[in-house]
Amino acid sequence: MKHIRNFSIIAHIDHGKSTLSDRLIQATDIVSDRDFKDQILDSMDIERERGITIKSQTVCLPYRAKTGQHYSLNLIDTPGHVDFSYEVSRALASCEGALLLIDASQGVEAQTLANMYLAMEHDLEIIPIINKIDLPSADVERVKAQIEEDLGLDPDTAILASAKEGIGIEEVLEGAVNLLPPPEGDPDAPLKALIFDSHYDPFRGTIVHFRVIDGKIRAGDTIRFMFNNATYRVEEVGIFRIVRVPRKELTAGEVGYMIAGIKTVSDTRCGDTVTLHSHPCDAPMSGFKETKPVVFSSIYPVASDAYEELAVAMEKLKLNDAALIYEKDSSVALGFGFRCGFLGLLHLEVVQERLEREYDLSLILTAPSVQYEITLNDGTTEIIDNPALYPDPTLIQNTREPYIRAAIIVPDRYMGAVMKLCLERRGINKNYQYLTNNRLEMIFEIPLAEVVYDFYDRLKSVTQGYGSFDYDIIDYRDTDLVKLDILINGDRVDALSQLVHRERSVMRGRRACEKLKEEIPRQMFKIAIQGAIGGKIISRATVSPFRKDVTAKCYGGDISRKRKLLEKQKKGKKRMKMVGQVEIPQSAFLSVLKSEGD
């Protein structure tokens, strides 16, 4: 065990985690140059296209240190986005150390701090690494000062590296061997292993990723999941070397995978403890704290007969994405679907895209909303995240919405722009402090509903990409909430309803009507698109009809002939409107979610 090191790479977005993983993999020669490709651990197409890591990935690197000793390094590459911080916390639970990457030109940013605190919660040894030292704008001394002031780490232990150029990779590997502690555990105790991830393979069933804490596991053992007491016989265990490499056994301190013919996807839970059926351990491990979704949206299949396929796809995706929470839902306009909870809008987009690509589904999403606490006149409290369940306003005593504490780190020249953006979003400025002579940390308390839409994109725009943002939910506060309905030809479309603050309702209603006017195709009759709060219409847009020129055959003569033909046409259109159905294209549902800037 003293020759095993388990560590993960953590950092803010775009500070070079995946590139450093690539160089470590190349340095240990587990992939031939012919098979190597950049961002080799980012296995999903969507990760490569967007240039972001979504899933944390594990790889076992064999390394011969300068002392001549052979080591086994289990490396976990983690995401940087705040929406995927749950992936990071799960990866850290199976490690003893962390490499904290800091960009030599950008310095310490919001997620750098947040990820360092996550690592500290797990009592991990942290090695700071200053990456991208080859950039013309790199300022190593300034970053070292930030490491000491902002992070409270020793800047002299920081390793200087450039993952892109391959500088300092040997020092990183030596640092992992010499500075990080080996795992603790008893190979002779009863088996105790922690599941930190899993994915579904159509040929082998569920493949479980786990870390052995105590004991040994080998093919042929009968294991038991302690969460639901399901038992299985192990077919294969092994380690990750980009591809799966089978082993005879895995012992305490090692990280690997297990295949046991698990067909029922729901048996596998992240954070569950695996033990031997015949010789179980005393008690399960504490596992991971449950995620709290902050954004809610309903997902429906475009074709109503694809509901069963969607149900199967959701179950398989949940296995690989533990932060996704869902339950059954139905809508008058769209039929059966699922009400889902996400950690943010990027998480929502990624789930939608993965369902469409990996499971070949066509989907419609409703407008995202957050959870509101509603106290009724009889004193009962309801938690509502779906506009369809919003009670009659006459029965409501008061409404409360979630607030977040947002920590925004920006260069001080953008202070005014950030202040304006946050105050527009009903934010309250709590305080600000200088981290260095030109970098500010600004603390705001903002309603979560105002952040959900496009706050992060706008923050990046007004700070020219230099602003970084991290948040946590603090409490619920009183708000003036209304339900905005969208009527098309006088019919309410429940999938387009939104819960909004009264001040923003007229603006949101106008914008929704304008967007729908662009998306809904013209018919032979006039289509009225209206925004309404209760019985009061607050906005309207009209889709003009196609119109045949019925007066073309009249030349000159009395105007009354033309008028008669036009009146006849008007009556026909009125009758058509009474029986005509308006088809709403899928793009119309999505257009309502987009902001003005898009």
Q: Is the pLDDT of residue 350 over 50?
A: yes
Question: For position 542, what pLDDT does the model report?
Answer: 87
Tell me the C-alpha distance between 259 and 321, whole Å: 19
**Could you count the other beta carbons within 10 Å of the beta carbon of residue 230?**
16
Question: For position 53, what pLDDT does the model report?
Answer: 67
> Average pLDDT, stretch 122-126?
86
pLDDT, tens only, 265-274? 677 777 788 8
Q: What angle do CA 598, 371, 457 make, to 5 degrees?
A: 25
Domains of the chain: 4-179 (3.40.50.300), 192-276 (2.40.30.10), 295-365 (3.30.70.870), 372-479 (3.30.70.240), 483-591 (3.30.70.2570)
CA dihedral (292, 298, 301, 303) in degrees, to 10, reads 170
Residues with Cβ < 8 Å from 78, sequence gap 6 or more?
Answer: 8, 9, 10, 17, 53, 56, 87, 88, 91, 92, 115
Question: Which pLDDT band, with edges at 50, 70 and 90, does 578 fall under?
Answer: low
Query: Taking all residues of the chain, what is their mean pLDDT, rounded to a whole number?
Result: 81
- CA–centroid distance for 44 within its chain: 15
Tell me the C-alpha distance between 153 and 142, whole Å: 14
Tell me the C-alpha distance between 191 and 189, whole Å: 6
pTM equals: 0.70
Question: Which pLDDT band, with edges at 50, 70 and 90, does 38 fall under?
Answer: low
Q: Is the pLDDT of residue 42 over 70?
A: no
Q: State the pairing for strand pair 125-131/249-251.
A: unpaired
> Average pLDDT, stretch 357-379?
84
Question: Which pLDDT band, with edges at 50, 70 and 90, does 462 fall under?
Answer: confident
**Could you count the other beta carbons within 10 Å of the beta carbon of residue 174?**
15
Question: For position 55, what pLDDT does the model report?
Answer: 63
Tokens in use for 4?
């095993």
Question: Which pLDDT band, with edges at 50, 70 and 90, does 328 fall under?
Answer: confident
Q: Which of 94-103, 300-309, 449-458, 584-593 has the lowest mean pLDDT?
A: 584-593
Question: For position 438, what pLDDT does the model report?
Answer: 77
> Average pLDDT, stretch 235-247?
86
- The size of the chain, in residues, is 598
Q: State the pairing for strand pair 70-77/4-11.
A: parallel
Q: Is the pLDDT of residue 597 over 50?
A: no
Question: For position 202, what pLDDT does the model report?
Answer: 81
Tokens in use for 338?
């699922």
> Average pLDDT, stretch 555-563?
78
Tell me the C-alpha distance between 407 and 471, whole Å: 6
For the chain, how are helix, strand and coil distributed in percent, rounded to 5? 30, 35, 35
Question: What DSSP state is assigned to residue 577?
Answer: H
> Average pLDDT, stretch 176-201?
84
Q: Which of 48-52, 225-229, 425-429, 566-570 has the lowest mean pLDDT?
A: 48-52
Question: Which pLDDT band, with edges at 50, 70 and 90, does 441 fall under?
Answer: confident
Q: State the pairing for strand pair 125-131/97-103.
A: parallel
> Average pLDDT, stretch 81-103?
77
Q: Is the pLDDT of residue 190 over 80?
A: yes
List the end-to-end C-alpha distance of the chain, in Å, as a whole number.
53
Question: For position 50, what pLDDT does the model report?
Answer: 63
- Of all helices (H) and strands (E), which one includes residue 320? helix 307-320
* Higher-confidence position of 42 and 160: 160
Residues with Cβ < 8 Å from 437, sequence gap 6 or more?
Answer: none
Most confident of 320-324, 425-429, 546-550: 425-429
Can you give the three-state secondary structure of 173-231, one letter per residue?
HHHHHHHCCCCCCCCCCCCEEEEEEEEEECCCEEEEEEEEEECEEECCCEEEECCCCCE
Q: Is the pLDDT of residue 511 over 80?
A: yes
Q: Is the pLDDT of residue 59 over 80?
A: yes
Question: Which pLDDT band, with edges at 50, 70 and 90, does 61 fall under?
Answer: confident
Question: For position 565, what pLDDT does the model report?
Answer: 81
DSSP string, 140-152: HHHHHHHIIIII-
Quickly count helices (H) and strands (E) in the chain: 14, 31
* Higher-confidence position of 288 and 352: 352
Question: For position 44, what pLDDT does the model report?
Answer: 64
Q: Is 491 helix (H, G, I), strand (E, B) or coil?
A: strand
Tokens in use for 72?
């086994």
Question: For position 576, what pLDDT does the model report?
Answer: 59
DSSP string, 39-108: STT--SHHHHHHT---S-EEEEEEEE-TTS-EEEEEEEE---SGGGHHHHHHHHTT-SEEEEEEETTTBS
Phi/psi at 7 (nearest 5 deg)? -150, 160
- CA–centroid distance for 280 within its chain: 36
Q: What percent of the chain has pLDDT over 90?
A: 1
Tell me the C-alpha distance between 264 and 198, whole Å: 13
CA dihedral (261, 263, 269, 273) in degrees, to 10, reads -30
Residues with Cβ < 8 Å from 364, sequence gap 6 or more?
Answer: 299, 300, 301, 302, 334, 337, 495, 586, 589
Rg of the chain on CA atoms, in Å: 28
Q: Is 483 helix (H, G, I), strand (E, B) or coil?
A: strand
Tokens in use for 427?
């934010």
Q: Is the pLDDT of residue 577 over 70?
A: no
**Annotated binding-site positions for GTP:** 14-19, 131-134
Q: Is 379 helix (H, G, I), strand (E, B) or coil?
A: coil
CA dihedral (227, 232, 233, 235) positive or negative? negative
Q: Is the pLDDT of residue 598 over 50?
A: no
**Annotated binding-site positions:** 14-19, 131-134
Tell me the C-alpha distance between 310 and 266, whole Å: 16
**Could you count the other beta carbons within 10 Å of the beta carbon of residue 75?**
25
